[in-house]
Structure 1
Amino acid sequence: MSEATQTAKAEHTAYDGEFLVDAKGIKVHFPIKRGVIFDKTIGHVYAVDGVDLQIRTGETYGLVGESGSGKSTLGRAILNLEPPTAGTVEFDGVDIASLKGETLRHKRQDIQMVFQDPMGSLDPRQTVESLLLEGMKAHGLAKDGAQANKRLRELLQAVGLPVAALKKYPHEFSGGQRQRIGIARALSVNPKLIVADEPVSALDVSVQAQVINLLEDLQEEFGLTYLVVAHDLAVVRHISDRIGVMYLGGICEEADADDLYAQPLHPYTRALMSAVPVPDPLVEDRRERIILTGDLPSPSNPPKGCRFHTRCPWRQETKCDTERPVLRIPDLPGIATSHRVACHWTEQIESGEIQSHEVKAQLVEQHDADGEVDLIGPASISEAL
């Protein structure tokens, strides 16, 4: 391990707080505008709506959910790339949501992002050397030319690329190699936290495992903390220590990775898990399959109460339609204190007191271009990640 790597790892492990990231009550609402002259706000898209998220130093937190769940927006809000509408994001003991200008720019050295599309996130007019040096120069890490060149070679070696890659342009690489360049760029400023937004979804299956294993190796070498945003349950399970499941702007279940896959408790999580194929045909034939039906609500007009109640096979009208559940530790034997679920009826569902039933399609409200409310008929949707 190089001297620079040892220094970076020592700095990253110096924080003595239990959580490196402590986000509370995060909301990200996007206004829906109408009109050219007056630019009137007629509503909001509730992309993230009241999320608490804590990430321990040195761990990998996986955030999973289908498209439109708000997981990528939450990741960007933690970096303050998408300023939260409400809530606080404490990073390393500092509320970064309140930082502005140069103070925020300097703090971003500690928080970097690996983007979903490696080609779209790299400037095609810059060489790899220029791409890596840009961030280092911005944060005063390239004042000594010899040290900077040494650092560039260390970065390429760390991500498994030859030194000759420094003089090449992004289009000269494969998708997997471009993602390695994106990872090297994130590492170039010695960050403490890396937010990886769908880091392998744009890559071939044969390359995905290589990139995931690379991220794990780099975490051990540099003492990194990860927030991995993904829709692929297999990827999240492989790399994560803890997992949060998002649905329509909120976290509906959170647990250690092994606990979540061994015993998913929220109806939505159970449906997602049942959609993952099992290699053993005997197990595949016998296991429970939960097919989600009903209307997928719009984040601009989420249901009242539990946001999953329009599609939930265990819905009970007494609470589900009116009262939004909070994340809590269920009163069940053998459940870890780190396993939390946002469901009113977890205990009754697990005991069999409440049985599943067919989901009845409902009329849902949608706003037309003039802001008027239209009632549209039911649609049946089956989902599998």
Structure 2
Amino acid sequence: MTLVEIDDLKVHFPIKSGLLFDRTLGYVYAVDGVSLTIRRGETYGLVGESGCGKSTLGRGLLRLVEPTGGRIIFDGTDVRALKGEQMRLFRQRIQMVFQDPMSSLDPRQSVESLLLEGLRAHNLHKDKAGVRAKLRSTLDAVGLPASALSKYPHEFSGGQRQRIGIARALVLGPELIVADEPVSALDVSIQAQVVNLLGDLQESLGLTYLVIAHDLAVVRHISDTIGVMYLGALVEEADGDLLYSRPLHPYTKALLSAVPIPDPYVEDQRERILLAGDLPSPAAPPSGCRFRTRCPWSQSRCESERPPLRVFDDSGQRVACHFAEEILDGSLAMHAVRAEIVRPGSEAAPDVGDGLIQTP
């Protein structure tokens, strides 16, 4: 059953100039025509490099930033049609876990005050005995003792602070949690604990997640469906295992080739794709396919026609590429100037970025 349906969502930020009279010189196309669905009880992982618009998409879903266009349907409700008090009350059903717990938690408030803030905002704090019991049970669900209620954020470790952030989201009993880079600010040794906690909470409470991340290993570990974003657009979407075993879009292929594999023999034998050029500005995206300036398989058609996100086959995998079939079967030649293929045994090696959570 579908819980969230996003259709052609756009979030454009105006570029202003002038001291007395603001003039709009252009727009930053942070999110530009994204469509996806999230089923009830599943985890949807959204990945992409920094600046691709994935965090803006999550904030647009909650209307923390106002979308420029498109539709957001949550359990049959048109979220963009809600106004004022209706929208405030509706936010009880959708909560967010932010990336950096140190900056998202007010250092002047105790944990009890942080958790009570949301209950007060929704007028759920009148029964003091019931509220106290709810706070204790919420802390217990995230693995923190009841004594934490009287403490302040600076008295906890990074992993514990993130657990407080998760508890703050849980205390209102939401149906959907948008987790924006929930483990990227944590040590690798702590990341697995928080990821496992999110999985346990989903199983016990029936939660639905939109997990935003740039670490493909983390996303693979927890996601049922994975969407890949590039420069404000969704370029590929598939079941988690299928995306890793059969990436179709050239950008997805390049991302996966940079993920380290915890097997020295396999790591030494596989090819890596090193993309040439810089990420274009979201204020002036390329015409046609947005990835064409860095794509090693781009053709003249890619310059004039933006590829739609289409269903590739019966598996339900979707890809925004005109030549996905030709790339998959190897019949389309690569442009060597746009990318470098690092063969097994070569001395060149890409920057693999973040650490990897090893899964059993």
TM-score (ref. length: structure 1): 0.87
C-alpha distance in 1 between matches for 2:87 and 2:309: 31
Specify the alignment match of 2:76 in structure 1: 93
Q: Secondary structure at the match of 1:119?
A: helix
Specify the alignment match of 2:318 in structure 1: 340
Amino acid at match of 2:18: G
State the 1:279 CA deviation. Answer: 1.8
Specify the alignment match of 2:337 in structure 1: 359
Tell me, yes or no, if the aligned pair for 1:24 and 1:88 is still in contact at 8 Å: yes
For these two proteins, the number of residue pairs brought into alignment is 343
Amino acid at match of 2:22: D
Aligned with residue 210 of structure 1, among 178, 193, 202: 193
C-alpha distance in 2 between matches for 1:167 and 1:279: 42
C-alpha distance in 2 between matches for 1:62 and 1:264: 15
State the 1:281 CA deviation. Answer: 2.0
Tell me, yes or no, if the aligned pair for 1:112 and 1:195 is still in contact at 8 Å: yes
Amino acid at match of 1:321: E
C-alpha distance in 1 between matches for 2:236 and 2:338: 24
Specify the alignment match of 1:235 in structure 2: 218
Alignment RMSD (CA, Å): 1.2
State the 1:359 CA deviation. Answer: 3.0
Specify the alignment match of 2:238 in structure 1: 255
Tell me, yes or no, if the aligned pair for 2:6 and 2:36 is still in contact at 8 Å: yes
C-alpha distance in 2 between matches for 1:21 and 1:330: 22
Aligned with residue 172 of structure 1, among 148, 155, 161: 155
Tell me, yes or no, if the aligned pair for 1:314 and 1:357 is still in contact at 8 Å: yes
C-alpha distance in 2 between matches for 1:174 and 1:384: 27
Tell me, yes or no, if the aligned pair for 1:294 and 1:359 is still in contact at 8 Å: no
Specify the alignment match of 1:321 in structure 2: 303
Q: Secondary structure at the match of 1:20?
A: strand
C-alpha distance in 2 between matches for 1:357 and 1:279: 30
Amino acid at match of 1:196: A
Tell me, yes or no, if the aligned pair for 2:309 and 2:320 is still in contact at 8 Å: yes
Tell me, yes or no, if the aligned pair for 2:296 and 2:338 is still in contact at 8 Å: no
Alpha-carbon displacement from aligned partner over 1:25-61 (angstroms, at most 9, x marks no partner)? 1000000011111110001000000000210000000
Structure 1: any 5+ residue segments left out of the alignment? 1-17, 362-381
C-alpha distance in 1 between matches for 2:48 and 2:76: 28
C-alpha distance in 2 between matches for 1:192 and 1:53: 18
State the 1:360 CA deviation. Answer: 5.0
**Residue 131 in structure 1 maps to residue 119 in structure 2:** no
Alpha-carbon displacement from aligned partner over 1:191-212 (angstroms, at most 9, x marks no partner)? 0000000000111111110000
Aligned with residue 269 of structure 2, among 286, 298, 304: 286
Q: Secondary structure at the match of 2:311?
A: coil
Specify the alignment match of 2:290 in structure 1: 307
Tell me, yes or no, if the aligned pair for 2:275 and 2:338 is still in contact at 8 Å: no
State the 1:141 CA deviation. Answer: 2.0
Amino acid at match of 2:315: A
Alpha-carbon displacement from aligned partner over 1:309-332 (angstroms, at most 9, x marks no partner)? 000011111x1111000111225x
Q: Secondary structure at the match of 1:320?
A: helix
C-alpha distance in 1 between matches for 2:93 and 2:149: 24
Identity between Structure 1 and Structure 2 (%): 68
Amino acid at match of 1:356: M
Q: Secondary structure at the match of 1:259?
A: helix
Amino acid at match of 2:137: E
Aligned with residue 17 of structure 2, among 14, 34, 38: 34
Specify the alignment match of 1:15 in structure 2: none
Specify the alignment match of 1:115 in structure 2: 98
Structure 2: any 5+ residue segments left out of the alignment? 340-349, 354-360
Tell me, yes or no, if the aligned pair for 1:292 and 1:383 is still in contact at 8 Å: no
Amino acid at match of 1:325: P
Specify the alignment match of 2:344 in structure 1: none
Specify the alignment match of 2:229 in structure 1: 246
C-alpha distance in 1 between matches for 2:264 and 2:114: 48
Alpha-carbon displacement from aligned partner over 1:323-364 (angstroms, at most 9, x marks no partner)? 000111225xxx612x10000001111122102121359xxx
Q: Secondary structure at the match of 1:218?
A: helix
**Residue 188 in structure 1 maps to residue 166 in structure 2:** no
For residues 347 and 187 of structure 1, do their structure 2 counterparts lie closer, same or farther at Cα, with a shift above 3 Å needed?
A: same
Amino acid at match of 1:238: H
C-alpha distance in 2 between matches for 1:106 and 1:35: 38
Tell me, yes or no, if the aligned pair for 1:124 and 1:171 is still in contact at 8 Å: yes
